[in-house]
Structure 1
Amino acid sequence: MAGSTTAERGERRQGPSGPPPLVRRFGRRGLRRIIVSAVALVFLGSGAFWLLYGSDLVRVERVSVSGTRVLTPERVRDAAEVPLGEQLISVDTKAIEARLGTALPRIDTVDVIRSWPSDITLKVTERTPVLFVRKGGEFIEVDEEGVRFATVSKAPEGVPALELAVSGSGSTAASLRRFGEDRLVREAVRVAGALPASVARTTRSVKVRSYDDISLELADGRTVGWGSGEKNAEKGRSLTALMKAEPGARHFDVSVPTAPASAGS
């Protein structure tokens, strides 16, 4: 039996004739649409890149500030040093936050927001003093975390003074060595923040002799022995009830909130 001819063997090696696989799968029109779409995406991507990094349309032109109470917007803008004229996408927002935190300790938090197409917005939250420390003729403000963040020439209105009556001998010295001044300040802050509203409004000073010897002096001269900064909620409730029951007392002790005491008339 005769074998296959040379022409037949060539046809088997070349395989069946017809369009390429992609054309068979998508069709000529479908493939053309895919190619056109891919080219369009390349051009769109190039255009977006140029708009963000090369165009004058998205450069920083204005810096707005919100949330200030004591600080002025001008002072915040100066400290932020936002680079006017720089591409908005290239502005280092973390560096701006760091500069503001270093230059203006009164700022607790700041959000640096890109407002397209040409603005930077600085949303500031300032620290609020809960106590202040006298230092010569000036006053150091202390926030709810015990951070001493600003020195001012006038005592903040409605804020108690912090008196650190810690000496270099006896039990007060031992407390200072054990806990450190910063910890004692934080305890005083905890107490000030936990006072009932009626008491907080009339508290003139918070005095710290040791970790477990914190007392209050009220505006009318009455005093309160508070003890440590623990069980503050219970102490607040006991003090409120005791003041109602003994309105003529001059001294209250809630260091043991389950056994409060009063004295004087």
Structure 2
Amino acid sequence: MTDTRADRRAVPEEGPAGEGRGRPNRWKAVFVTLLVVGALGLVTWVLLGSRLLVVRHVEVSGAGLAPRDRIVAAAGIDLGTPMARLRTGAIGERVERLREVESAKIERNWPGTVRIVVRERVPVAVFTRDGRYHLVDRHGVTVADGESRPSGLPTLTVASPGPSDRATRAALAVLCGLPERLGGRLAEVEATGPETVTLHMKDGQTVVWGAAERAREKIRLLDAVRRTAAGRAVRTVDISSPEVLKTK
């Protein structure tokens, strides 16, 4: 018979040896995990907890009507705030509440500068109220007011000027749709309702425009009247219905 005890002694025991080979791999995994956690913690501290990347300067660009100090105040950005904690969307919304501002974009310029880029509303007409001149943009929003009348803007004549007033919106739609050759000769745009817009030109001519629709046809008609008049005074042009042109 064969002595199996010698065979058993010749077979190596794999338990302790296998554990010895696996231990370095486990330590390596633990070390890599700790390294990653430490790196993430360092990055988080630099971004949110340290004084390295905080707001140190606030810049404003695109402002003309609104003073820089008022834009900065509306933004409400505290110097020393970590750049990563800035809620740029909320900052932009606060700036856009200023009547002069149509839109605002907030940019982070690392390591410590915040840039506020504003697009201001553009005045297209002026109306008077309580002895003051109010400038309105294409939406009817008042962007500025003062005691002296600004030059270069036509007068807006409506009963209740404002962005929610239909007559205001119609008058401004007609005004903003005019080509420069006509818009530059406009003295006043008047509307008693959304379908009764009238233009008063600087040369004294009155243009009964009607509703804001079919602007291209009406512009072609008005150009044709001006060409064919050839120096003859046409005091009133009614293009409210393009199919039926009326002149006086």
Equivalent residue in structure 1 for 2:126, among 121, 129, 132 = 132
SS in 2 for 1:19: helix
Give me the whole-angstrom Cα distance separating, in 1, the residues matched to 2:44 and 2:221. 66
Give me the whole-angstrom Cα distance separating, in 2, the residues matched to 1:161 and 1:253. 20
Aligned to 2:54: 59
The offset of 1:224, in angstroms, is: 0.6
Go from structure 1 to structure 2 and tell me whether the alpha carbon gap of 1:199 and 1:37 turns closer, same or farther (over 3 Å shift).
same
Go from structure 1 to structure 2 and tell me whether the alpha carbon gap of 1:181 and 1:80 turns closer, same or farther (over 3 Å shift).
closer
Aligned to 2:5: none
Give me the whole-angstrom Cα distance separating, in 1, the residues matched to 2:159 and 2:127. 12
**TM-score for both structures, normalised by structure 1:** 0.78
The offset of 1:156, in angstroms, is: 3.5
Matched, 1:86 2:81: yes
Matched, 1:183 2:177: no
Go from structure 1 to structure 2 and tell me whether the alpha carbon gap of 1:90 and 1:181 turns closer, same or farther (over 3 Å shift).
closer
Aligned to 1:173: none
The offset of 1:154, in angstroms, is: 3.1
Give me the whole-angstrom Cα distance separating, in 1, the residues matched to 2:239 and 2:247. 9
Give me the whole-angstrom Cα distance separating, in 1, the residues matched to 2:198 and 2:89. 42
- Specify the code of the residue in structure 1 equivalent to 2:145: T
Contact 1:161 1:206 in 2 (8 A): yes
The offset of 1:259, in angstroms, is: 2.9
- Specify the code of the residue in structure 1 equivalent to 2:146: V
- Specify the code of the residue in structure 2 equivalent to 1:69: G
- Residues 85-124 of structure 1 show CA distances to partners (whole Å, capped at 9, x for unaligned) of 111122233332333233x211111111221111111000
- Specify the code of the residue in structure 2 equivalent to 1:229: A
Matched, 1:236 2:219: yes
- Specify the code of the residue in structure 2 equivalent to 1:197: E
Gaps of 5+ in 1: 1-7, 9-14, 167-179
Aligned to 1:11: none
Matched, 1:108 2:102: yes
Matched, 1:259 2:241: no
Contact 1:246 1:262 in 2 (8 A): no
Aligned to 1:146: 140
Aligned to 1:214: 197
Aligned to 2:40: 45
**TM-score for both structures, normalised by structure 2:** 0.83
Give me the whole-angstrom Cα distance separating, in 1, the residues matched to 2:35 and 2:221. 74
- Residues 10-61 of structure 1 show CA distances to partners (whole Å, capped at 9, x for unaligned) of xxxxx974636x95xxx956x6655443332111101110001111111111
- Specify the code of the residue in structure 2 equivalent to 1:132: V
Aligned to 1:95: 90
SS in 2 for 1:140: strand
Give me the whole-angstrom Cα distance separating, in 2, the residues matched to 1:87 and 1:58. 6
